[in-house]
Amino acid sequence: MTEPTDITSIAPRDKAEILAQALPYIRKYHGKTMVIKYGGNAMTDPALQQDFAEDVVLLKLVGINPVVVHGGGPQIETLLKRLGKQGQFIQGMRVTDPETMEVVEWVLAGEVQQDIVGLINQAGGKAVGLTGRDGAMIRARKLRMADQKDPTLEHDVGQVGDIVSIDPSVVQALQDDQFIPVVSPIGFGEQNESYNINADVVAAKLATVLQAEKLLMLTNIRGVLDKDMQLLTELTPRRIDELVEDGTISGGMIPKIAGALDAAKSGVNAVHIIDGRVPHALLLEVLGNEPFGTMIRSH
């Protein structure tokens, strides 16, 4: 991999050429909404955090409306360990008892969200943190999780939620006021109880209800890889089924791909799984013409 070029060493004429090449994409996406699932290394490496914040602010400044949905699995795990509590998983899903739910809310809606809001504001944007409770945005119910081997069995994973509905009006109001919404994947139920929801699922559903132009999912891999570790630049529903069947797509990648496919089928024009370990990954995808990561197609 070649070392990134220092921007100060690029001649002014070349800088102008780079900006000119981005112009058609700026024009194409002006006024459009993009939902960005932020997670993985991009979220924990300080240099990549800064790149991400700068990318989001630049997109906003050129007239694109970014909406950030974030996870926080590693940070939740760290705090649980500090409290002497062992995280438990069933079929890749975190079992969320009432005590764990308190930790999830404290980490996601507190520490992680405020870090992201601060980074974006420091980069010159105006970010606002939201959870699913704000503006009654994400209504949820208890997730009923069938056993993968025996569908007649159900696992109780506690306060893990399934989305009932999303009301995007609070997000749209913020966008119209030049703010950048940063959403924590926490929903609420009929009895005002809190639910921990998979961030990939929230991002996909929010992209659908906002009729987003793009859904961009930052991950710790180059995209979806085949058995030979080669990048698959495009995936169709049939190909996804084959890859799940033979175990190529497994574990935490399953809800990510399922959410991406749902969004693509529901009218989100482009769904991309991209490598968040690459500096300025967002700008490379949105304002570049090279294929980057894996695109999910609806058919």
H runs (alpha helix) in the chain: 12-29, 41-44, 46-61, 73-82, 98-105, 113-122, 169-176, 199-209, 237-245, 253-265, 281-286
Residues in the annotated binding site: 72-73, 94, 196
Q: Which residues contact 146 (CB under 8 A, 6 or more apart)?
A: 152, 153, 154, 155
Residues in the annotated binding site for substrate: 72-73, 94, 196
Q: What is the β-pairing status of strands 231-232 and 186-188?
A: unpaired
* Gap between the Cα atoms of 80 and 127, Å rounded: 28
Joined together, the tokens standing for residue 132 give 């699913």
CA separation (Å) from 250 to 20, 87, 91, 207, 271?
41, 20, 10, 23, 19
